[in-house]
Amino acid sequence: MDIVKVNIKTAGYMANKPIIKNVALNIGYGELIGLIGPNGAGKSTIIKAIMGLLPENDSIVEFGGSYKNYSYIPEQPVLYEGLTLWEHLEFAASVYEIDQLEFLNKTEGLLKLFRLTHVRHNMPTTFSKGMQQKVMLILGFLLSPSLYIIDEPFIGLDPIGIKDFLSLIQQARNQGTGVLMSTHSLDTAEKICTSFVLINDGTILAKGNLQEIREQSQLINGSLFDCFIELLEKTL
Ligand SMILES: Nc1ncnc2c1ncn2[C@@H]1O[C@H](COP(=O)(O)OP(=O)(O)OP(=O)(O)O)[C@@H](O)[C@H]1O
């Protein structure tokens, strides 16, 4: 059984102007699906369609456990003016109804992992871009859902932040959590993803594991980057 089956017939922002057409993908337990594609291809729009956040959306999104149980980590930090990092965490915990002991354990571990313990009483609106990205990751990882939806996590994170993020993802996957992650970091994606969905102009250009992507691009030993370029150049 999959965690979620997604079938987007059409989706977009305005009536009769679909941005996404015929995108189907499934995410299974423990899988990490890389959603890749050029700027403006429609990755974020697919994510919004899955979450039901688009005004125009002819999609079927079926969660295996029958209820929506996911955590979304956006590309652009969403932070509240006037709240400290700790207050952001407490606010999230009350919205998610996380048990106090679990909250304290988790936040301690996450703050330490991302090296933000010393600034927990400061305002994240004054943090650097990478520190703000880490705050969004901590907020996302406070929950233990069956699916993480992560929009471009790598931009702005330093190498240690990337390593720490990857270890969290790996731990979650070991427990069966699925991940859908959009990214332009193809070298990292190639190493960590179980399969890929390559989007171009709102539709699927190629899909499958690295071997299948190689076959579809006819680059038998190609890197994900080479296959991506090859497949895209064929569309020009
Ligand atoms: N709020 C919006 N209203 C109207 N059109 C939008 C909106 N957001 C995105 N679009 C359009 O939808 C298309 C796909 O954009 P989307 O943000 O999904 O691309 P993306 O693949 O995530 O790109 P990037 O890699 O640059 O983040 C683009 O043509 C964009 O102009």
Round to whole Å and give the CA distance between 17 and 80: 33
pLDDT at 3: 94
- Domain ranges in the chain are 2-69+146-234, 79-144
Rg over CA atoms, the chain: 18
Among residues 16, 8, 20, 61, the alpha carbon closest in space to that of 203 is found at 20
Instruction: Give the SS3 label for residue 8.
Output: strand
Query: Does residue 204 carry a pLDDT above 70?
Result: yes
How many whole angstroms from 168 Cα to the centroid of ligand 1?
A: 28
Which value does ipTM take for this structure? 0.98
Q: 7 C-alpha vs ligand 1 centroid, how far in Å?
A: 19
Q: What is the DSSP string of 80-124?
A: -TT--HHHHHHHHHHHHT--HHHHHHHHHHHHHHTT-GGGTTS-G
pTM, whole model, 2 decimals? Answer: 0.94
Q: Whose CA is nearest to atom 16 of ligand 1?
A: 42
Integer CA distances (angstroms), 231 to 37, 190, 224, 234, in order: 11, 16, 10, 5
- Residue 66 is predicted with a pLDDT of 56
- Which top CATH class is 2-69+146-234? alpha beta
Report residues whose beta carbon is within 6 angstroms of any ligand 1 atom.
Answer: 13, 19, 37, 39-45
Q: Is 54 within 8 Å of 47 (Cβ atoms)? A: no
Kindly give the number of the ligand 1 atom that is closest to the alpha carbon of 37. 21
Taking only the tens place, the pLDDT of each residue in 84-141 is: 999 999 999 998 889 999 999 999 999 999 999 999 999 999 999 999 999 999 999 9
3-state secondary structure of 175: coil
Q: How far, in Å, is the centroid of ligand 1 from the Cα of 13?
A: 9
User: Which of 14, 20, 44 should be mutated for ligand 1, with most atoms under 8 A from CB?
Assistant: 44
Find the mean pLDDT for residues 175-179.
95
1 CA to centre of ligand 1 in angstroms: 31
Is residue 60's pLDDT more than 70? yes
Which tens digits make up the pLDDT trace of 19-41? 999 999 999 999 999 999 999 99
